[in-house]
Structure 1
Amino acid sequence: MFALALVVATEAQALGRFSSDRMACARVQQTIRADGAAIVSYTSRRSNPLYDRFVRNAQFCQGGEVTETVYIVAADTQSCPVLHCQEYEPPFDFR
């Protein structure tokens, strides 16, 4: 059990962190793909500083989460598509 906690803690600490405001969109996407997951700081369209965790694919999400495409600001565009983990919400059943 202790070894599992150590592995999880090590993986969390190993996440790359960078600012998308200083990188072209293609480089942001390439960095996330290469690392699998990264903490990215960026500026919202309303000029608020934000940060979040973005991933290469659903394998980097936790159980019960799926990927969703979101758009963040990069140095060369206001709409850089990246993947974000989000809790899965099943569609409403109209039966």
Structure 2
Amino acid sequence: MKPIAYAIPMLLLASAAGADPSYTVTNMTCKAVQAAVKSSGSAILRYRSKTSGAPLYSRYVADSNYCDSRTTIAFGSVPTKDNKSCPVKKCISAY
């Protein structure tokens, strides 16, 4: 029983260490958002909907190396402090 008790916390630490960083982009410049995604390879970017104000988020990537084999890269945008349509990349389904 003791090996299992030690293994569970280690698994939790390992999964948390591999998590994408998260940023609220509305208070960041476009250049800072792009640099954050590039430096970590992928990140969760959070912002508010332009129409309803509802919170939105998605995973954005530096390049296609951060997409899995069933996805491809696409260009998108997020609203930042200095740019209403800051260009960023994300993975989308290839099928």
Q: Which stretches of structure 1, 4 residues or more, deviate above 4 A after TM superposition?
A: none
Q: 1:40 aligns with which of 41, 45, 52?
A: 45
**SS in structure 2 opposite 1:77?**
coil
Match in the other structure for 1:62: 68
**Is structure 2 residue 24 aligned with structure 1 residue 11?**
no
CA distance in 1, matches of 2:67, 2:24: 21
CA distance in 1, matches of 2:29, 2:58: 18
With the length of structure 2 as denominator, give the TM-score of the two structures.
0.78
Higher strand proportion: 1
Tell me the CA shift for residue 71 of structure 1: 1.1
The answer to whether the 8 Å contact 1:41/1:49 transfers is yes
Structure 1 unaligned segments of length 5 or more: list them. Answer: 1-5, 90-95
Structure 2 unaligned segments of length 5 or more: list them. Answer: 1-10
Tell me the CA shift for residue 72 of structure 1: 0.9
Whose radius of gyration is greater, 1 or 2?
2
**Letter of the aligned partner of 2:71 in structure 1?**
E
Higher helix proportion: 2
CA distance in 2, matches of 1:73, 1:60: 22
Q: CA RMSD in A?
A: 1.9
**Letter of the aligned partner of 2:30 in structure 1?**
C
